[in-house]
């Protein structure tokens, strides 16, 4: 009877030890699996680099240990390992000993395939992530002297971007066009413009993504005039040297903004004025539309700045010269002495000075002007 209890105790203890061993082994495997998931499943770059270094060093040591001298030369080894691990295998270098062949078949090729797959997967994930960030507008741009369009008005903004792209074609230096929005949209023109989505138009960390401080032109067109006002004030403070244009539905806000930021060019809605003008002068709306259009078929309105090298000259001289040489019609001018106001159809004896602006109607933008010939009396 005592022997029976002794045997039972012995077997129970053995079973307990076995259970403890199984549990310990299971815990160890869980820890190992957790480490593998942490360092290999996500395929971090440093993990791939460490795995590649270990793979190269261990492969070289194994081949060297089994006297594969032709494969362990420094340059030849790197070349052979790359083509073998990626399964390209040109066949110009190969193991010569039976042990070397086993090492390549059972270690070098399987492990090389695994690392190669990790690299390809990581590169594909990186490229896909960058593309997705660009489509979603989450990337930070690196541009300068660009045209920054702030705001989203659906079809009106799409038309604005289309017109800007058409206008850009006539320029010698074609600036980048950047659309900055708060709306939850994806990139509307992935192959033509840059796109940034922000939470606020008044935060430096958001607007710096669109390189607002380096923009040469800033166009603001938001659905709400109040948002346009605050954005214009912020942009004027952030980049006072940029040419800034803001669109308003309420003309009273135009005067308010220009009291604080006179350098901002404000564009109020002229739909009502256009209707009234067309009522008494039929065709006026079509005329204004043609002047603003940049299609190839008709005439459009353009502007230019008089260079520093040009001597002061009368408006009459330039008017006749532009019509004679470029078939263009001058319609107005603006300069520092006249402030920002534009003089339409000025007197012929008006003096035009360097850095003044001329406004003209022509079939296309005039880019190559012989000023010496134009200013000849």
Of 95-99, 303-307, 358-362, where does mean pLDDT reach its minimum?
95-99
As a whole number, mean pLDDT of residues 28-42 equals 54
pLDDT per position as a tens digit, 356-373: 999 999 988 888 888 887
Grade residue 26 by pLDDT with cuts at 50, 70 and 90. low
Grade residue 338 by pLDDT with cuts at 50, 70 and 90. very low
* Per-residue pLDDT at 146: 94
b/e map 44-54, b = 16+ CB within 10 Å: eeebbeebbee
Among candidates 182, 186, 209, 187, which has minimal Cα distance to 197?
Answer: 182
The sign one gets for the Cα dihedral 108, 109, 111, 117 is positive
* DSSP strand pairing (343-344 vs 217-220): unpaired
260/257 Cα distance (integer angstroms): 5
- Are the C-beta atoms of 209 and 146 separated by less than 8 Å? no
Structure tokens at 275: 């209707």
Whole-structure pTM value = 0.64
* CA Rg value for the chain: 36
**Mean pLDDT for the chain overall:** 80
CATH class of the domain comprising 281-374: alpha beta
* Per-residue pLDDT at 11: 45
* Per-residue pLDDT at 18: 47
Of 47-61, 126-140, 272-286, where does mean pLDDT reach its minimum?
126-140
- Are the C-beta atoms of 360 and 303 separated by less than 8 Å? yes
358/303 Cα distance (integer angstroms): 5
- Are the C-beta atoms of 267 and 245 separated by less than 8 Å? yes
Grade residue 340 by pLDDT with cuts at 50, 70 and 90. low
Residues of the chain with pLDDT > 70, as a percent, come to 83
> 């480490």: which residue's tokens?
35
Of 25-29, 51-55, 106-110, 123-127, where does mean pLDDT reach its minimum?
25-29
More confident residue, 88 or 264: 264
Q: Can you give the residue ranges of every domain in the chain?
A: 21-136, 147-269, 281-374
As a whole number, mean pLDDT of residues 249-261 equals 82
Q: What is the CATH number of domain 21-136?
A: 1.10.287.70
Q: Is the pLDDT of residue 35 over 90?
A: no
Superfamily of domain 147-269 in CATH is NAD(P)-binding Rossmann-like Domain (3.40.50.720)
Q: Is the pLDDT of residue 339 over 60?
A: no
Structure tokens at 68: 């594969």
Q: Is the pLDDT of residue 72 over 50?
A: yes
> 């066009």: which residue's tokens?
177
The sign one gets for the Cα dihedral 246, 249, 255, 259 is negative
Grade residue 264 by pLDDT with cuts at 50, 70 and 90. confident
As a whole number, mean pLDDT of residues 189-197 equals 89
Which range, 55-69, 160-174, 231-245, 264-278, is most confident?
231-245
* Per-residue pLDDT at 89: 65
């Amino acid at each position: 009877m005592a022997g029976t209890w002794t045997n039972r105790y012995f077997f129970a203890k053995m079973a307990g030890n076995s259970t403890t061993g199984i549990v310990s082994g299971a815990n160890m495997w869980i820890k190992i699996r957790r480490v593998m998931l942490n360092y290999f499943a996500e395929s971090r770059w440093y993990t791939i680099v460490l795995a590649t270094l270990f793979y190269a060093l261990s492969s070289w040591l194994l081949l060297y240990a089994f006297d594969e001298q032709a494969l362990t030369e420094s340059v030849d080894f790197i070349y052979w390992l790359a083509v073998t691990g990626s399964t390209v295998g040109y066949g110009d270098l190969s193991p010569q000993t039976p042990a070397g062949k086993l090492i390549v078949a059972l270690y070098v090729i399987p492990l090389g395939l695994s690392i190669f797959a990790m690299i390809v997967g990581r590169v594909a994930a990186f490229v896909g992530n960058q593309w997705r960030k660009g489509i979603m507008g989450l990337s930070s741009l690196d541009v300068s002297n660009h045209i920054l369009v702030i705001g989203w008005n659906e079809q009106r903004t799409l038309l604005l971007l289309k017109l800007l792209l058409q206008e850009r074609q006539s320029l010698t230096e074609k600036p980048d066009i950047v659309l900055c929005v708060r709306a939850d949209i994806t990139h509307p023109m992935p192959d033509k413009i840059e796109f940034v989505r922000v939470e606020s138009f008044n935060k430096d960390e958001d607007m710096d993504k669109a390189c607002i401080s380096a923009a040469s032109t800033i166009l603001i067109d938001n659905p709400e005039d109040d948002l346009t006002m605050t954005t214009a004030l912020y942009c004027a403070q952030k980049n006072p040297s940029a040419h800034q244009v803001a669109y308003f539905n309420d003309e009273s806000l135009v005067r308010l903004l220009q009291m604080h930021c006179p350098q901002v060019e404000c564009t109020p809605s002229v739909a009502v004025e256009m209707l009234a003008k067309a009522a008494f002068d039929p065709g006026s709306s079509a005329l204004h539309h043609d002047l603003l259009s940049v299609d190839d078929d008709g005439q459009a309105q353009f502007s230019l700045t008089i260079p520093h090298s040009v001597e002061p000259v009368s408006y009459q001289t330039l008017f006749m010269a532009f019509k004679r040489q470029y078939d263009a019609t001058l319609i107005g001018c603006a300069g520092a002495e006249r402030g920002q106001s534009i003089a339409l159809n000025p007197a012929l004896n008006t003096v035009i000075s360097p850095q003044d602006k001329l406004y003209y109607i022509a079939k296309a933008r005039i880019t190559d002007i012989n000023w010496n010939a134009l200013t000849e009396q």
